[in-house]
Amino acid sequence: MDNVRQLRERTPESEKITLNLGYVDLGRIDLLVQEGFYSNRSDFIRTAIRNQLEHHGEIVARSIERHTMELGLRDYGRAELEALRDAGEVLHVKVVGLARIAADVTPELARVAIGSITVLGALQASAEVRAALADRIS
């Protein structure tokens, strides 16, 4: 047992979404895949989404700045939250992307240190922390 080590839990780098399309649009996508323009339907949809995000990039950037949000991946660990608690400060999480609350953060610490959570994208936290913060997540 001394040489057994626990592997770190792998966090997915993307979020699965469900999308409903009309048969004609779906057929047109399949035609482009068949013709070799895209490797599969998902490749087409990801490319279309990225193109639209790039097209609206300036608007998104201004909105993020206006709402004082962080863009990308943001981890909130126990040490950071304990420091905020000890300083008598409250954190207001505003993230566009992925916000993760570390597994070692207790529900009690989360309630004391986090005043509100706004995430456009995904929030990863234990079920207990999510329950403790349910009234603060928008």
Same domain, 67 and 119: yes
Sequence-ordered list of residues with C-beta below 8 angstroms from that of 113, at least 6 positions apart, any chain: 81, 82, 84, 85, 89, 90, 91
Q: What is the pLDDT of residue 66?
A: 80
Confidence of residue 20 (pLDDT cuts 50, 70, 90): very high
* Cα–Cα distance measured from residue 103 to residue 107, given in angstroms and rounded to the nearest whole number: 10
Average pLDDT over residues 110-128: 96
Same domain, 50 and 115: no
Same domain, 92 and 123: yes
| pLDDT tens column, 55-112 | 999 998 888 888 889 999 999 999 999 999 999 999 999 999 999 999 999 999 999 9
Give a yes or no: residue 7 inside a domain. no
Full domain range(s) for residue 40: 23-55
Give a yes or no: residue 10 inside a domain. no
Of 13, 33, 55, at which residue does a domain stop?
55
Same domain, 106 and 45: no
Average pLDDT over residues 11-15: 73
Reported pTM: 0.68
Q: What is the pLDDT of residue 5?
A: 56
Give a yes or no: residue 9 inside a domain. no
Same domain, 38 and 80: no
Same domain, 51 and 65: no
Same domain, 113 and 74: yes
The answer to whether the CB of 67 falls within 8 A of the CB of 91 is no
Give a yes or no: residue 84 inside a domain. yes
Q: What is the pLDDT of residue 15?
A: 83
User: How high is the mean pLDDT of the chain?
Assistant: 91
pLDDT at 14 over 60: yes
